[in-house]
Amino acid sequence: MFAPRLLPRLATSSVRSPLASTSSSLLASRRGFASSRTALASSLLYLEHREGELNAASLVALTAAKKIGGDIHAIVAGDEGVKEVADKASKCEGLSKVFTTSSPSYRGLLSEPLAPVIKALAEKGSYTHIFAGHTAAGRDIFPRLAALLDSSQVSDIIAVESEDTFQRPIYAGNAIATVKSNDKIKVITVRGTAFDKASEEGGSASVEEVGSDAAETPTKFIEDKLSKSDRPDLATASRVVSGGRAIKSAENFVKYIEPLADSMKAAVGASRAAVDAGYADNALQVGQTGKIIAPELYVAVGISGAIQHLAGMKDSKTIVAINKDADAPIFQVADVGLVADLYEAVPELIEKLK
């Protein structure tokens, strides 16, 4: 019970806090962690977008920011069409202001022009917290921003305990660290599966254009080569079917895993072994070094369940494992396990799901 000692004037989220019994701190805890007796918290959210759509992990980061309390402003930076995205963002529940800035140099979400722009805005607005989703872009831009602000970033948080204390997984999710940031500006990235997405409706934030004096940087965006698919997006799908090393070939991946995913209206994932062996695209990798997901249903086919893979999917609601090896570690986390040859079980399963 160090929380009350470390945060003497703040109501913490914990109902066990002795402060929670007073009416003023009850009110404060309902608003967030900020109370009238402390400097008000205010957050700046880097709102990522692509092809006119707001990034799901950014909306999750917005939910985390709401737990701090205080005003939440967002920055939407981009090239053409950024105004439309900013209008969309202004309707997000919880945002009171959306800054928008436009420049061709923001294409490809490069950190060199974006980090200084966010820094300038952060200092001008005296924000106490700056949030982003722990996406590839968030992971690229935010540490650069944190260094510019001389702040020690808190990466990939999964819980907000108070306005300066956060939980984050370490060692591939095999331990959870609770860390307290003493930095003036707290730079934080949020795990995309740790909170619910903020609603894209019900808000009415003002939109303010900020000039772009994006400096010329040596880095040039050339192109993105994104995997096109009609299936649900892996990061946000409610169901995922993943294939592992036992699939043995790229042909088998197309023949067994994809139809099974389609029969469940699921996204397709893969273990690192399957990706390294060339059976599946890099973008499909689930694990510590790939995507970290938490769907309603995760079906692991021919995946042994190495630590690094479990780090990416063990927060799924229901885990199903199909594996020939009854001793595979995946069965220790699976809610439903089937010890069977995938080449027989998968076609049968597809047939029975029709």
Q: List residues forming the annotated binding site for FAD.
A: 245, 271-272, 285-289, 302-309, 323
Applying the rule CB under 8 A, the residues between 182 and 201 that interact with other proteins are: 182-183
Contact 268, 242 (CB under 8 A): yes
Binding test (CB under 8 A) with other proteins, winner from 26, 27, 40, 336: 336
Under rule CB under 8 A, residue 328 binds other proteins: no
How many residues of this chain bind other proteins (CB under 8 A)?
Answer: 94
Q: Give the 3-state secondary structure of residue 195.
A: coil
Q: In which residue are the tokens 């690229």 written?
A: 140
Which is closer to other proteins, CB of 85 or CB of 205? 85
**Pick 21 or 217: Cβ nearer other proteins:** 217
Stretch that binds other proteins, among 13-21, 31-39, 124-132, 324-332 (CB under 8 A): 324-332
Q: List Cβ neighbours of 19 (8 Å cut-off, separation of 6 or more).
A: 4, 10, 11, 12, 25
CA distance 264 to 288: 25
Within 65-104, the residues that bind other proteins by CB under 8 A are none
Residue 337 interacts with other proteins (CB under 8 A): yes or no: yes
Query: Of the two residues 20 and 56, which places its CB atom closer to other proteins in the complex?
Result: 56
Amino acid type, 201 = E
Contact segment (CB under 8 A) with other proteins among 15-23, 34-42, 76-84, 170-178 equals: 170-178
Map residues 233-252 to x or -, x wherever contact with other proteins holds by CB under 8 A. x-x---x-------------
Whether 154 contacts 132, CB under 8 Å = no
Could you identify the residue written with the tokens 């209206």? 265
**Residue 217 found at the interface with other proteins (CB under 8 A):** yes
Q: Smallest gap, in angstroms, from Cβ of residue 89 to other proteins?
A: 19
Under the binding rule (CB under 8 A), the answer on residue 283 touching other proteins is yes
Q: Specify the 3-state DSSP secondary structure of 47.
A: coil
Q: Determine which residue in the list 28, 65, 82, 110 makes contact with other proteins, applying CB under 8 A.
A: 110
Q: Which residues contact 15 (CB under 8 A, 6 or more apart)?
A: none
> Nearest distance from residue 36's CB to other proteins, in Å?
26
Determine, following the binding rule CB under 8 A, whether residue 219 of this chain makes contact with other proteins.
yes
What is the rounded CA–CA span in Å between residue 52 and residue 244?
Answer: 34
Query: Among residues 8, 201, 216, 352, which is the contact residue for other proteins, using CB under 8 A?
Result: 352
Residue 264 makes contact with other proteins by CB under 8 A: yes
Identified binder of other proteins from the candidate list 15, 201, 222, 230, rule CB under 8 A: 222
User: How do beta strands 159-162 and 165-170 pair?
Assistant: antiparallel
181 binds other proteins (CB under 8 A): yes
Q: Are 121 and 99 in contact (CB under 8 A)?
A: yes
- The phi and psi torsions of 170 (rounded to 5 degrees) equal -130, 170
Q: Does 213 bind other proteins (CB under 8 A)?
A: no
Looking up tokens 């982003």 gives: 132
The whole-angstrom separation of Cα 233 and Cα 263 is 16
